[in-house]
């Protein structure tokens, strides 16, 4: 936890945004999902990135669609 003037924040994370990206080279598709959160108490931001790949004939991963 970051310290602000000796204060240890007990984070209260709030979801700010989600960004989706999909890149293809023809047969293989690379999926990327980036979730951004910020702390209401100290304004720190945090990003969680998830990546995966699949074939073009496969359905999109559940985690990428939601």
User: What residues contact residue 44 under an 8 Å CB cut-off, 6+ apart?
Assistant: 2, 9, 11, 38
Q: Does residue 64 surpass a pLDDT of 90?
A: no
Q: Show me where the domains of the chain are located.
A: 8-58
* Backbone angles phi and psi of 43, in degrees to 5: 65, 15
Give the model confidence (pLDDT) of 4-55 as tens digits: 566 688 999 999 999 999 999 888 999 999 999 999 989 899 999 999 998 8
Residue 63 has pLDDT above 90, yes or no: no
Output the CA–CA distances (angstroms, integers) from residue 32 to 11, 19, 43, 46, in the order listed.
26, 8, 25, 16
Contact 15, 34 (CB under 8 A): no
């Amino acid at each position: 936890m970051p310290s602000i003037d000796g204060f240890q924040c007990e984070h209260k994370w709030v979801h700010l945004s989600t960004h989706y990206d999909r890149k293809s080279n023809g047969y293989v598709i690379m999926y990327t999902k980036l979730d951004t959160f910020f702390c209401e108490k100290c304004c720190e931001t945090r990003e969680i990135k998830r990546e995966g790949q699949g074939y073009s004939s496969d359905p999109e991963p559940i985690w990428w669609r939601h």
